[in-house]
């Protein structure tokens, strides 16, 4: 009998990427085989994102295409997982009757059991407050053989959900209340990754700095913070690089910033989403920090680690954003001089507080502001990149196809390297001399 095959398409953030890996492993344990050919798969899983309207539209249009595939192959099972699944639940099946299974963000561990259900369609989207994330030991062996190249870097989810309720954001509704995983589970998972050959781990959470604040993460009553966790993960022998994402500026502790001076393997890159440069808009967004406090944190980070690259997320055209507010965003970009940023047009999301705010900004104005922000950010990226020319920098090799190597610096810059490339494999740390800077990458030559 042929093994059933599955195909997963992942949208959205790293949390979803990690959840897709977990689903793949759980299915593998039940005898399913992952395939990269969606046309012949017996099961297609869409792991979805609903952060902006566009992300959700992509899912809906792909589901439209899959309707035809299911007509050709009535045995095909279609599963919708992730944040759209959590938010829309039953409505997905009402709009898209060819969907077999809707799996919420806390239900992925039940996936294999849910697939066995004889019912025609199943919706499993329970979201509870006192949920404890199961211990989960990654099986790199299986993932490696199916997905291909050596696995040298991995994401590790340390917490789920969010309690911040920024007024524009769906995450507290799609991922539920903030829950931190047990420290022992995280350390066990990290050790298993390193034993399996992983050289770089990125710790994941919507707001890692509040790790351990809403529930007990160690045995007994002691307190254990994100920086405690970070230091313990960093001390695992064999791990070469450590990163984390994301951190709300309001909770960024001095202790965490100090880690950039004290923890050797912590990469000098900090993604610190600001969202707006205007205090009035920050307050409407319920971000709970001011521009001034944000700038203080940036200055402190740079004093602990002068070479640190700071990146951000920015929203333009939040309801009520005036030209003056937007100018403050542009001024903040100049002041921080970000190494990079993700910037978005504000998008109304169902159930969020800001979707009911007045003074929505016109699409054309949002588009103009976004273009202006991104154009200036691109110039600034080039300015930063030019400073690396002539320097010799350590970097982790990500890909080596025999002719050219792609590597990534600790500051998260991509480098295309030439030279004696034969000896390098993904996960190695090499040094290259930077010869040329572009807007989005660097070129270098390997140092012997």
Closest contact distance (angstroms) between CB of 156 and ligand SAH is 16
- Total count of residues recorded for the chain: 448
Count of residues that bind ligand SF4 according to CB under 6 A: 10
Closest contact distance (angstroms) between CB of 328 and ligand F3S is 26
Q: Do you find a cis peptide bond into 246, omega within 30 degrees of 0?
A: yes
Q: With contact defined as beta carbons under 8 Å apart, do 317 and 345 qualify?
A: yes
Residue 49 marked in a binding site = yes
Token readout for 264 is: 């050797």
Among 28, 82, 172, 212, binds ligand F3S (CB under 6 A): 82
Q: Which does 179 bind (CB under 5 to 8 A by kind): ligand SAH, ligand F3S, ligand SF4, none?
A: none
- Residue 300 buriedness (CB in 10 A; 0-12 / 13-18 / 19+): middle
Q: Which stretch binds ligand SF4 (CB under 6 A): 5-13, 164-172, 233-241, 371-379?
A: 164-172
Q: Is 205 in the site for ligand SF4 (CB under 6 A)?
A: no
**Nearest CA among 53, 142, 143, 7 for reference residue 347:** 53
Distances (CA, A) of 435 to 299, 404, 443: 30, 15, 6
Residues 6 or more apart whose CB falls under 8 angstroms from that of 330 comprise: 277, 372, 373, 376
If phi over 0 gives left and psi between -120 and 50 gives alpha, with beta otherwise, what is residue 285?
alpha
Closest contact distance (angstroms) between CB of 85 and ligand F3S is 10
d(CA 112, CA 126): 16
Closest contact distance (angstroms) between CB of 30 and ligand SAH is 32
Q: With contact defined as beta carbons under 8 Å apart, do 178 and 159 qualify?
A: yes
Strand pairing category for 200-204 and 241-245: parallel
- Residues from 48 through 77 that contact ligand F3S (CB under 6 A): 49-51
Closest contact distance (angstroms) between CB of 313 and ligand SAH is 3
- Contact mark string toward ligand SF4, 165..204, x via CB under 6 A: xx--x-xx--------------------------------
Q: Is 46 in the site for ligand F3S (CB under 6 A)?
A: no
Q: With contact defined as beta carbons under 8 Å apart, do 437 and 446 qualify?
A: no
- Residues from 167 through 196 that contact ligand F3S (CB under 6 A): 170-171, 174-175
Residue 79 marked in a binding site = no
Q: Which is nearer to ligand SAH, 251 or 296 (CB)?
A: 251
- Contact mark string toward ligand F3S, 393..412, x via CB under 6 A: --------------------
Q: Is 12 in the site for ligand F3S (CB under 6 A)?
A: yes
Q: Is 23 in the site for ligand SF4 (CB under 6 A)?
A: no
d(CA 75, CA 97): 14
- Residues from 248 through 267 that contact ligand SF4 (CB under 6 A): 248
d(CA 370, CA 122): 41
Where does this chain bind ligand F3S (CB under 6 A)?
12-13, 15-16, 49-51, 82-83, 170-171, 174-175
**Residues in touch with ligand SF4 (CB under 6 A):** 162, 164-166, 169, 171-172, 206-207, 248
Residue ranges of the binding site for [4Fe-4S] cluster? 13, 49, 83, 162, 166, 169
């Amino acid at each position: 009998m042929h093994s059933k095959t599955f195909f997963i398409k992942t949208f959205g953030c790293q949390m979803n990427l990690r959840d897709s890996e977990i689903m793949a492993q759980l299915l593998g344990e039940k005898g399913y085989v992952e395939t990269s050919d969606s046309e012949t798969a017996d099961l297609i899983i869409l792991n979805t994102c609903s952060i902006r309207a566009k992300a959700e539209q992509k899912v809906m249009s792909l589901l439209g295409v899959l309707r035809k595939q299911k007509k050709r192959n009535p045995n095909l099972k279609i599963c919708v997982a992730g944040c759209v699944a959590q938010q829309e639940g039953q409505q997905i099946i009402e709009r898209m009757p060819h969907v077999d299974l809707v799996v919420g963000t806390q239900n992925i561990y039940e996936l294999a059991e849910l697939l066995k259900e004889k019912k025609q369609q199943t919706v499993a989207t329970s979201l509870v407050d006192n949920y404890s994330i199961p211990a989960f030991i990654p099986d790199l062996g299986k993932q490696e053989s199916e997905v291909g190249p050596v696995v040298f870097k991995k994401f590790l989810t340390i917490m789920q959900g969010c309690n911040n309720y920024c007024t524009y954001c769906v995450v507290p509704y799609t991922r539920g209340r903030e829950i931190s995983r047990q420290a022992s589970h995280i350390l066990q998972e990290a050790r298993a990754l390193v034993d399996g050959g992983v050289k770089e781990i990125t710790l994941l959470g919507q707001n890692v700095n509040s790790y351990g604040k809403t529930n007990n993460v160690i045995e007994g009553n002691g307190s254990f913070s994100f920086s405690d966790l970070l230091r313990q993960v960093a001390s695992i022998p064999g791990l070469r690089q450590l990163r984390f994402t994301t951190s709300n500026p309001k909770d960024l502790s001095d202790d965490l910033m100090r880690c950039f001076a004290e923890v050797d393997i912590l990469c000098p890159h900090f993604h610190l989403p600001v969202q707006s440069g205007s205090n009035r808009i920050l307050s409407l967004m319920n971000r709970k920090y001011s521009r001034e406090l944000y700038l203080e944190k940036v200055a402190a980070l740079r004093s602990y680690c002068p070479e640190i690259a700071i990146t951000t997320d920015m929203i333009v055209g939040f309801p009520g954003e005036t030209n003056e507010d937007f100018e403050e965003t542009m001024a903040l970009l100049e002041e921080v001089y970000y190494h990079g940023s993700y910037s978005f047009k504000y998008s109304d999301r169902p159930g969020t507080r800001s979707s009911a705010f007045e003074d929505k900004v016109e699409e054309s104005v949002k588009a103009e502001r976004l273009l202006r922000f991104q154009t200036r950010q691109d110039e600034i990226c080039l300015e930063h990149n030019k400073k690396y020319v002539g320097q010799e920098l350590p970097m982790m090799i990500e890909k080596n196809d025999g002719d050219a190597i792609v590597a990534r610096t600790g500051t998260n810059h991509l480098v295309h390297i030439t030279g004696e490339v034969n000896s390098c494999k993904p996960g190695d740390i090499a040094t290259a001399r930077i010869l040329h800077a572009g807007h989005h990458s660097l070129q270098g030559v390997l140092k012997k």
